[in-house]
Structure 1
């Protein structure tokens, strides 16, 4: 799954508070393990993780996404699946969750994973709107 060919702009690790950096690193480590799951199992685990949480705001989801990108070069580049899972999990630590989505585009073929709030992708390129959603956790 990938869209960007270059790294996303990253906030300096120093701009992310120490506690948030530690939480983001834990979320990234868990995301790297979850990416190995089969899609249906991954969806069930994400649904379980999000159970009982309130919807995240765009600002909360963007803040979590930026923290994840700040602590992981892989998530700042081609690691959209890991980035989206880690963002979802980092938001969950505060009791809120964004929507987690995966999708595809056919011309040219591309697959991508992202988080959204109210159906609007958070921190993503505008072309994400052209992707057909294949899996979603709300």
Structure 2
């Protein structure tokens, strides 16, 4: 998925938080190789039993993922969003995971959101038409 972005700034993390973020990034790297349908199915299973995520938890997870992975800090929005969602899940919560497209010019993007508001994203994400959503389980 592509959306023009510059490398995001990273934060210094405690070693435990850093280690867990590496696990989430590695798992995300494997999951994004699945077909979109299978990826959605896996994420729907992973989200089971999770509480709704808070905005601060989701932002902390996204920041941690960006801090440990150059791919996630740049153009890797799919890996970044999956890794951040997994990192939230490790803490027992789940944000809404989304993918979307713009048609003119064509662009695709993936992100996480809380209460319908994208977390850590540019304002232009609101223009994307959502194509796949994995919300908190009812």
> Shorter-normalised TM-score: what interval?
over 0.9
C-alpha separation in 2, matches of 1:5 and 1:64 = 19
C-alpha separation in 2, matches of 1:10 and 1:118 = 25
Q: How many residues align?
A: 135
Kindly indicate whether residue 48 of structure 2 is the aligned counterpart of residue 51 of structure 1. Answer: yes
What does residue 116 of structure 1 align with? 113
What does residue 70 of structure 1 align with? 67
C-alpha separation in 1, matches of 2:5 and 2:131 = 22
C-alpha separation in 2, matches of 1:69 and 1:100 = 17
C-alpha separation in 1, matches of 2:37 and 2:108 = 16
What is the TM-score normalised by the length of structure 2?
0.96
Give 1:4 shift: 2.9
Kindly indicate whether residue 80 of structure 2 is the aligned counterpart of residue 86 of structure 1. Answer: no
Backbone CA RMSD of aligned residues: 0.7
What is the TM-score normalised by the length of structure 1?
0.96
Give 1:108 shift: 1.1
What does residue 123 of structure 2 align with? 126
Give 1:126 shift: 0.4
Give 1:74 shift: 0.5
What does residue 7 of structure 1 align with? 7
Give 1:36 shift: 0.6
Which sections of structure 2, spanning at least 5 residues, go unmatched? Answer: none
Runs of 4+ in 1 over 4 A off after TM superposition: none
